[in-house]
């Protein structure tokens, strides 16, 4: 059994837009899957990641969301400033993908190959009816496309 029994106790999303999009996704997930998710998910937040999610690192700059293991349950951190550049469908895809990770017990079971976990999460999110964006694949491509015309900063050339 999970720590909490209902969505209002795991959902801690401050952004109005992300909260609404999360609810959209939740409504579309089959009831039985929702029951399983509530057993495996501790919380979903967009403002209070644990200290070990490195927000200032290069990695996180490219991250829309991350699912991690917290006290033997899955926890999802939505990076709202990065998700702000995605359209609603893309954000729903990201949320569904992260929920699929939690459903599949990925965050607390690191024994599965990382690439396989991304494929499995994408497949499950798609079975729930979402176009899923695994961060190993499409999610990075999306980032690159959106930032293709950015002016590079801190670029140094060494000869
Ligand atoms: Zn993923």
DSSP string, 83-137: HTTS-HHHHHHHHHHHHHHHHTT-TT-TTS-HHHHHHHHHHHHHHTT-----TTT
Q: What is the per-residue pLDDT for 125?
A: 92
The CATH fold assigned to 7-146 is Collagenase (Catalytic Domain) (3.40.390)
Q: How far apart are CA 37 and CA 28, in angstroms?
A: 13
Ligand 1 centroid from CA 107, angstroms: 10
Ligand 1 centroid from CA 158, angstroms: 35
Q: In a 3-state reduction of DSSP, which class is residue 21?
A: helix
How would you label 43-77 residue by residue, b for 16+ Cβ within 10 Å and e otherwise? bbbbeebeeebeeeeeebebbbbbbbbbeebbbbb
Q: What is the per-residue pLDDT for 1?
A: 43
Q: What is the per-residue pLDDT for 37?
A: 93
Instruction: Classify strands 65-70 and 41-45 as parallel, antiparallel or unpaired.
Output: unpaired
Ligand 1 centroid from CA 135, angstroms: 5
Ligand 1 centroid from CA 154, angstroms: 29
Mean per-residue pLDDT for 88-106? 93
Ligand 1 centroid from CA 95, angstroms: 10
- 67 beta partners: 76
Q: How far apart are CA 40 and CA 104, in angstroms?
A: 9
Q: How far apart are CA 89 and CA 24, in angstroms?
A: 10
The predicted-structure confidence for 115-134, as pLDDT tens digits, reads as follows 888 889 989 999 999 986 65
Residue 10 near residue 42, CB atoms below 8 Å: yes
Q: What is the per-residue pLDDT for 56?
A: 58
Ligand 1 centroid from CA 141, angstroms: 14
Closest to 79 in 3D by CA, of 60, 107, 101:
60
Question: 25-29, 67-71, 115-119 — which one is most confidently predicted on average?
Answer: 25-29
Read off the pLDDT band of 156 (50, 70, 90): very low
Crossing angle between the packed helical segments 88-103 and 16-28, to the nearest 10 degrees = 60
């Amino acid at each position: 059994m999970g720590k909490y029994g209902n969505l209002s106790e795991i959902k801690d999303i401050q952004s109005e837009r992300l909260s609404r999009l999360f609810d959209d996704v939740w409504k579309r997930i089959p009831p039985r899957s929702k029951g399983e998710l509530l057993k495996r998910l501790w919380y979903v937040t967009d403002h209070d990641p644990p200290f070990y999610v490195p927000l200032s690192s290069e990695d996180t700059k490219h991250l829309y969301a991350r699912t991690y293991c917290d006290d033997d349950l899955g926890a999802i951190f939505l990076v709202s400033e990065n998700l702000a550049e995605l359209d609603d469908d893309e954000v729903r895809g990201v949320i569904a993908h992260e929920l699929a990770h939690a459903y599949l017990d990925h965050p607390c079971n690191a024994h599965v190959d990382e690439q396989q976990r991304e494929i499995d999460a994408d497949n499950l999110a798609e079975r729930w009816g979402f176009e899923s964006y695994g961060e190993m694949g499409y999610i990075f491509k999306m980032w690159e496309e959106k930032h293709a015309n950015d002016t590079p900063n801190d670029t140094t050339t060494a000869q």
